[in-house]
Structure 1
């Protein structure tokens, strides 16, 4: 009888452990509204985007504008410039290399891979857009 109780207790412990682990791994979804995005960028005009570690802000596209960054040569990322804490079209992130800072709440975001917050009250990553390189000199940002 004692062995049965120990065996059931062990399975119960593992069940609770994996349940708690699964619940703690939920991603925080961005609350930035979905808007249609279609932006074409000529890299001959915005040639700073060909330099690794650079980023450029484009206004009047996306919800709060779009920030496009170049992590390494030929690897680009595009994010909505609206802060995930403020969620406001008038208070957009200001890019500085591979970081973006919200002037309203002072949250900071990394501008590569998942664009997670690195500082401040923001908890959700930036809304990311699809990006593709067309030829050698044109980027397309879309959703």
Structure 2
């Protein structure tokens, strides 16, 4: 009677392969960011920071609200000299243009649900029921012209 020899190496390599696939799937599925559900609207705005209306944006820790652009308006903030951020003012909890985040310095507060957002880097919610950050727009500063676009 002959003994059958089993190749344990091939069985383990199959298990390693399955483990690798499962681990990779779990890693990618758990790292999803919370995306904003604010609708995409075309945005291309140029602000002259020398004009009195926009002059506050030339100085750190200031922000302004531009109404009638974007989905719910656009909040533009200046964190440091030359470092600007732009976000849609529509709250990510309510998602209607009339529920707008009103800026005060570098904090914005929703007029409907009282969620508060930090108006720099990624505009994550600091307090309130909102879970997703505000929708961010691109900015570029050339001289004293601040361009906001998507």
User: TM-score under structure 1 normalisation?
Assistant: 0.85
Alignment correspondent of 1:22: 28
| Structure 1: runs of 5+ lacking an equivalent | none
Deviation per CA, 1:34-71: give whole Å up to 9, x if none: 11112111111211111111100000100000000001
Higher mean C-alpha deviation, range 18-27 or range 58-67: 18-27
Runs of 4+ in 1 over 3 A off after TM superposition: 5-22
Q: How does 1:95-114 map to 2 (within 5 A)?
A: 95-114=103-122
Residue 51 (structure 1) aligns with: 59
The 1-side partners of 2:19 and 2:60 are apart by: 48
Query: For the residues of structure 2 that align with 1:38 and 1:9, how far apart are their CA atoms?
Result: 53
For the pair shown, the structure with the greater C-alpha radius of gyration is: 2
Deviation at 1:89, TM superposition (A): 0.8
Which consecutive unaligned segments of at least 5 residues does structure 2 have? 1-10
Deviation, 1:21, is 4.0
**Counterparts in 2 of 1:38 and 1:6: CA distance versus 1, 3 Å:** closer
Q: Among residues 136, 144, 147, which one is paired with 1:140 in the alignment?
A: 147
2:42 maps to which of 28, 36, 46? 36
